[in-house]
Amino acid sequence: MLDQTMTLTQYLIEERRRFPQASGQFNSVILAIALACKALSRKVAYGALAGLHGDAADGVNVQGEVAQKLDVLGNDTFLHCLRWGDNVRGMLSEEMQDPWLADPGNGAGGDYLLAFDPLDGSTNIDVNMSIGSVFSLLRVPDSGRPTRVEDFLQPGSKQVAAGYALYGPATMFVLTVGRGTHGFTLNPELGEFLLTHPDLRVPEETQEFAINASNSRFWEPPIRRYVEECLQGRNGPREKDFNMRWIASMVADAHRILTRGGVFLYPRDTKDPSQAGRLRLLYECNPIGMLIEQAGGRASTGEAPILQVTPAAPHQRIGFVFGSRREVERIERYHAEKPEEREHDTPLFNMRGLFRSIA
């Protein structure tokens, strides 16, 4: 039984007891990540006083987006905390074109690969809204040779751990090591993450959805149909009213869904045909996907399980839908239906959509 006052370290030691041969590497990596998140939490708490608002000097990052000062500091903090332990052989970051790879000459590092987004929700930094860090842990496929970039290209089902830190009114660390999803809250006096939310579960049903509605004219028909039916509420085919939320910080939206249910949609759309979605598979979708599925929810591309996708490139983008199982399954069903199979008796579907239809 997980004890409410258990610290993150104690939780990891309890879990390690199940692996008598464990070397301690795994726990060292998770605790190094937690240290990086605690350090970032302190910086975020100072806001503008830390001089960390605004764009970074070196401007545009590998994503073609303007990097924020805190993005760069977050990346450096993760690299610093994880390099010390010599337990990871490679680190792939949203902020770096190429992953950091351990020098084979110096002990070659441990058996793990870390993929992370040091600051998720960057557009919220300067407006003092919740932001987070997201991470995904994989095993190196072959510890007998130097690590290669391709070693990161494993499906999300191969993750051995995933988690996020949420820098909100309270700083939280939400983690799965493959046996459920558990929430820890930072006690700033102790500097310890304490287990406050053991065994988080995503309710199967929900009446709350999260999507950036300003993109509606770019959505594909199954997404537009799903959202329109939600907006029709009790008078439409869903026969119940829905609430909408959009924080523009995926970690914050994910935390709400883990806490009270809901569905998050950032689907593939036609806004930028050169991009298959907004969010990155390896260090945003896969870790959140593992956390959600470990909590009984479902994580999808909109058409198929996200954790089954084999990445084609380190910074691959992809459509992402996750949350309450029944809702995600409905969205997948809408994608699977061929135009001739659609429920033409759904008055809404024959109506002109609430959103301007694709020209």
Residues 173-212 that bind ligand FBP (CB under 6 A): 212
> Which residues inside 225-284 make contact with ligand FBP, applying CB under 6 A?
248-250, 266, 278
121 forms part of the interface with ligand FBP (CB under 6 A): yes
- Give the span between the Cα atoms of 17 and 6, in whole angstroms: 15
Longest CA–CA span in the chain (Å) reads 67
Span near ligand FBP by CB under 6 A; candidates 49-57, 119-127, 143-151, 176-184: 119-127
DSSP notation for 305-336: BGGGPPPSSTT-EE-EEEESHHHHHHHHHHHH
Report the nearest approach of ligand FBP to the CB of residue 262 (Å). 13
Given 82, 99, 115, 120, the residue binding ligand FBP (CB under 6 A) = 120
Using CA atoms, how far apart are residues 150 and 306, in angstroms rounded to an integer? 19
Residue 72 CB, shortest distance to ligand FBP, in Å, is 13
For ligand FBP, the closer of residues 73 and 108 by Cβ is: 73
Closest CB to ligand FBP among residues 120, 228: 120
DSSP 8-state class, residue 105: T
Q: Is 41 in the site for ligand FBP (CB under 6 A)?
A: no
Total number of residues that touch ligand FBP (CB under 6 A): 13
Does residue number 123 form part of the binding site for ligand FBP (CB under 6 A)?
yes
Q: Shortest gap between Cβ of 39 and ligand FBP (angstroms)?
A: 19
- Rounded to the nearest 10 degrees, the angle between the axes of helix 69-84 and helix 25-46 is 150
Cα–Cα distance between 49 and 149 in angstroms, integer?
Answer: 38
End-to-end CA distance of the chain: 56
Residue with CB nearest ligand FBP?
A: 250
Distance CA 9, CA 21 (A): 18
Closest separation in Å from C-beta 353 to ligand FBP: 21
199 close to 172: Cβ distance less than 8 angstroms: no
Site string for ligand FBP, 68-107 (x = CB under 6 A): --------------------------x-------------
Considering only residues 51 through 70, tell me which ones interact with ligand FBP, judged by CB under 6 A.
Answer: 65
Shortest CB 87 distance to ligand FBP, Å: 25
Q: Identify the H or E element spanning 91.
A: strand 88-93
DSSP 112: E
Would you say 87 or 249 has its CB closer to ligand FBP?
A: 249
**196/193 Cα distance (integer angstroms):** 9
Rounded Cα–Cα distance for residues 280 and 277 (Å)? 8
Supply the minimum distance, in Å, between the C-beta of residue 76 and ligand FBP: 16
**Among 358, 304, 354, 357, CA closest to 333:** 304
Nearer CB in complex with ligand FBP: 130/147:
130
Amino acid at 304: A
Nearest to 297 by CA among 328, 255, 338, 253: 328
- The region of 25-33, 34-42, 117-125, 217-225 touching ligand FBP under the rule CB under 6 A is 117-125
Residues binding ligand FBP (CB under 6 A): 65, 94, 117, 120-123, 212, 248-250, 266, 278
